[in-house]
Amino acid sequence: MKYYSLNHNAPKVSFEEAVIQGLATDKGLYFPETISPLTPDFFETIENLSNEEIAFEAIKQFVGNEIPEATLKKIIAETLCFDFPLVEVEKGIYSLELFHGPTMAFKDVGARFMSRCLAYFNKDKKNNTNTVLVATSGDTGGAVASGFLGVEGVEVVILYPSGKVSDIQEKQLTTLGQNIKALEIDGVFDDCQDMVKKAFLDENLKHKNLTSANSINIARWLPQMFYFFFAYKALKKYNKELIFSCPSGNFGNICAGIMAKKLGLPLLHFVASTNVNDTVPRFLASGIYDPRPSKATISNAMDVGNPSNFIRIQEMYHNDLEQFKKDFSSYSFTDSETKTAMKTIHDTSGYIAEPHGAVGYLGLKKELENYPNAIGIFLETAHPIKFLDIVEPTLNVKLPIPQQIESVMGKEKISTKIKTYEELKTFLG
Ligand SMILES: *Cc1c(COP(=O)(O)O)cnc(C)c1O
């Protein structure tokens, strides 16, 4: 399989090159040259397949022969080392829980898959080290740290804004040691992001083989389609149409869902639910793509003003807005609506949703007005404990600490404080 740059000004590359580079040389996102639907037979008998078998069928055309079948199956098995339960919170409305992995956010799936692909590609390159450089506002850092821990030939450097991530998130990215290094930046998330972008462009850092581990990297993005297949498998028996609502920030998750549909998965409609960072809902309403600086909200993993994967979605619809709108809606919600939704869900079913999941629920409810007979699924992208500062006072509950979190809370934080890009360069060496 070859990948082309969506800026159309860079050579086509293999899966391996796309994973190692992250972004094309013209700064475009990579996109697969062909997308071949799976056979009708696959969907008819999907309930007889294990999650690992489903994932293998879904991803194999994107990897091609660049990773041997047996190795790819092993990578998938290690990626999917936890469950993806569907919980019915209201009649016909399900929460697809993506947070049962090691760091309790859906990003575990992509981070685990990508790290193992990189490790495979590095295995024969004795003195070659790739450096994964990543800026985080919270969840990405922890998932990347855990996913890449101990992976040979890969150094991970995580930049996070000092004092602006939660205690749990900070522990998840500063306590692992080994090949994981945390840099505490005296600044905000945008400062971290700017430093990372600058480093990728810096000729003097070429020898570090820098790559990214956010959803612009195809090996982090593509495996996120797996759980749409798993949900279909579980709900197929009801023989109803399915609508998915994804709480969206960089739009990697929803873009993976649309890819699953391209592969033939019979999904009726997608809803991109956002907080007040509403670039995409405004685009659907006006036809004008007008990104704005991000605003801080309680669903902070979605505080994104210019969603990087949206261009991939447009590519899948050949930039045909009318066609796109048949499959896709997008709505935005305020923090106060989000908290009200958390309370409503809790009062009616006892279910505890964190703010991102609650935004997904709100978008789903709105869309189901148009499709009263469909089954609706919202993605619950993180465990409530990760947003306990919001969840506990809003719902007046006390959350027990899950074992995954307990095990990092007692460990010692190790980080290096820096302020300037020059300090980052010196650190990278
Ligand atoms: C990253 C993240 C999101 C946003 O996902 P995208 O794929 O970037 O749209 C939503 N919720 C949580 C908890 C996240 O960590």
Amino acid at site 191:
D
CB atoms within 10 A of CB 36: 11
Q: For residue 39, give the DSSP letter.
A: P
Query: Phi/psi at 184 (nearest 5 deg)?
Result: -95, 115
Q: Which atom of ligand 1 is nearest to the CA of 256?
A: 7
> Atom 1 of ligand 1 has which residue's CA nearest to it?
301
Q: Which atom of ligand 1 is nearest to the CA of 249?
A: 9
The pLDDT confidence band at residue 123, using thresholds 50, 70 and 90, is: confident
What per-residue confidence (pLDDT) applies to 276?
97
Which pLDDT tens digit goes with each residue over 56-66? 999 999 999 99
Which pLDDT tens digit goes with each residue over 323-363? 999 999 999 999 999 999 999 999 999 999 999 999 999 99
Q: Which atom of ligand 1 is nearest to the CA of 247?
A: 10
What per-residue confidence (pLDDT) applies to 125?
78
Which pLDDT tens digit goes with each residue over 355-401? 999 999 999 999 999 999 999 999 999 999 999 999 999 999 999 99
Which pLDDT tens digit goes with each residue over 7-42? 999 999 999 999 999 989 898 999 999 999 999 999
The pLDDT confidence band at residue 244, using thresholds 50, 70 and 90, is: very high
- Decide: 301 in ligand 1 pocket, CB within 6 A: yes
As a whole number of angstroms, the distance between CA 344 and CA 22 comes to: 41
Least confident interval from 78-87, 102-111, 135-144, 221-230: 135-144
Q: Is the pLDDT assigned to residue 165 strictly greater than 90?
A: no
The pLDDT confidence band at residue 186, using thresholds 50, 70 and 90, is: very high
- Cα 134 to averaged position of ligand 1 atoms, centre (Å): 15
- Decide: 111 in ligand 1 pocket, CB within 6 A: no
As a whole number of angstroms, the distance between CA 157 and CA 241 comes to: 43
> Atom 11 of ligand 1 has which residue's CA nearest to it?
381
Q: Which residues are tagged catalytic?
A: 107
Please give, one letter per residue, the 3-state secondary structure of 240-308. Answer: CCEEEEEECCCCHHHHHHHHHHHCCCCCCEEEEEECCCCHHHHHHHHCCCCCCCCCCCCCHHHCCCCCC
What per-residue confidence (pLDDT) applies to 145?
95
Average pLDDT value for the chain: 94
- Decide: 105 in ligand 1 pocket, CB within 6 A: yes
- Decide: 249 in ligand 1 pocket, CB within 6 A: yes
In the beta sheet, which residues pair with residue 161? 185
Q: Is the pLDDT assigned to residue 128 strictly greater than 80?
A: no
What per-residue confidence (pLDDT) applies to 166?
85
Dihedral sign for Cα 181, 184, 189, 190, please. negative
What per-residue confidence (pLDDT) applies to 167?
87
Q: Which atom of ligand 1 is nearest to the CA of 304?
A: 8
As a whole number of angstroms, the distance between CA 424 and CA 103 comes to: 26
Could you give the domains of the chain? 85-103+223-398 (3.40.50.1100)
Which pLDDT tens digit goes with each residue over 40-51? 999 999 999 999
As a whole number of angstroms, the distance between CA 111 and CA 60 comes to: 18
What per-residue confidence (pLDDT) applies to 382?
95
Q: What's the pTM?
A: 0.95
Q: Is the pLDDT assigned to residue 417 strictly greater than 90?
A: yes
Q: Which atom of ligand 1 is nearest to the CA of 250?
A: 8
- Cβ atoms 408, 277 nearer than 8 A: no
- Decide: 253 in ligand 1 pocket, CB within 6 A: yes
The pLDDT confidence band at residue 197, using thresholds 50, 70 and 90, is: confident
Query: CA 188 → CA 99, 162, 164, 185, 226, distances in Å?
Result: 26, 8, 7, 8, 33
- Decide: 302 in ligand 1 pocket, CB within 6 A: yes
- Decide: 174 in ligand 1 pocket, CB within 6 A: no
Q: Which of 189, 356, 387 has most ligand 1 atoms within 8 Å of its beta carbon, as the pocket-test mutant?
A: 356
Q: Is the pLDDT assigned to residue 188 strictly greater than 80?
A: yes
What per-residue confidence (pLDDT) applies to 194?
85
Q: Is the pLDDT assigned to residue 137 strictly greater than 90?
A: no
Cα 370-252-384 angle, rounded to 5 deg = 80
> Atom 14 of ligand 1 has which residue's CA nearest to it?
301
Share of the chain above pLDDT 70, in %: 100
Q: Is the pLDDT assigned to residue 126 strictly greater than 80?
A: no
Query: CA 98 → CA 44, 87, 189, 418, 420, distances in Å?
Result: 25, 11, 25, 34, 36
Q: Which of 260, 268, 258 is nearest to 226 (CA)?
A: 260
**Roughly what angle, to the nearest 10 degrees, separates helices 226-235 and 252-262?**
60
- Cα 102 to averaged position of ligand 1 atoms, centre (Å): 16
Q: Which of 106, 146, 387 has most ligand 1 atoms within 8 Å of its beta carbon, as the pocket-test mutant?
A: 106
